[in-house]
Amino acid sequence: MKTLLIIDVQNDFMPGGTLAVPNADKIIPVINSIQPKFDLVVAAQDWHPKDHVSFASNHQNKIPFDEIEVHGKQQTLWPDHCVQGTEGAKFHAALLTQKWEAIFRKGTDKSMDSYSAFYDNGRLKSTGLIGYLKEKGTTQLFLCGLAADICVYFSIHDAFNEGFKCFFIEDASQPLDYEQFNKQKKEMESLGIQVVSASNI
């Protein structure tokens, strides 16, 4: 089964959002155009409590993009984003959602960040997405969304390590840091993860 996983195409990551990804809104028509090509479409949604450990506002004398240590791991501090129940946490209004069969929320534990759609950063808790995709019979998994160098990248790695044949849809994704993303893209290709464009699907 050919499955599309759409990651974090939410208002706070759009231009004008609290954690805007450059040109994020450009991917919406691309994602809308490819959805009919898939047997199964699912989405991941960043869904943070307002006292989340990754928010710089919850740490004295810290500003966004400072680094701290959480559970022995480096943690980037972000502007408040995708707070549960807020407008910023909603999917972009132009994104077509009718074909989506499930939404998996991540980052819900206030004490641990969760970049991947599959596990939190400490790999302490699963979102249940792996079991869902395997039960559905997913063999080929195509991933896209925001940000390409963070949540999409970590999701691809987890999916690949779980044995899925993975494809990254480059023109249906946008990175926060292009330089970092170009290195990651080479790494993905070296592992056998295919980088494709929407027209190749």
Taking CA 98 as the corner, what is the angle to CA 7 and CA 32, rounded to the nearest 5 degrees?
A: 55
Q: What CA–CA distance (Å, rounded) separates 136 from 54?
A: 33
Task: Please say whether the beta carbons of 79 and 50 come within 8 A.
Answer: no
Catalytic residue among 8, 12, 80, 158: 8
Active site residue 8: yes
Q: What CA–CA distance (Å, rounded) separates 10 from 92?
A: 5
Q: What CA–CA distance (Å, rounded) separates 49 from 55?
A: 10
How far is the CA of 79 from the CAs of 65, 110, 111, 151, 159, in angstroms?
Answer: 8, 15, 16, 16, 27
Active site residue 106: yes
Catalytic residue among 12, 82, 113, 151: 151
Catalytic residue among 46, 80, 82, 106: 106
Q: State the angle between helix axes of 153-161 and 178-191 in degrees (0 to 180), rounded to the nearest 10.
A: 10
- Grouping H, G, I as helix, E, B as strand and the rest as coil, residue 161 is helix
For the annotated catalytic residues, the residue numbers are 8, 106, 151
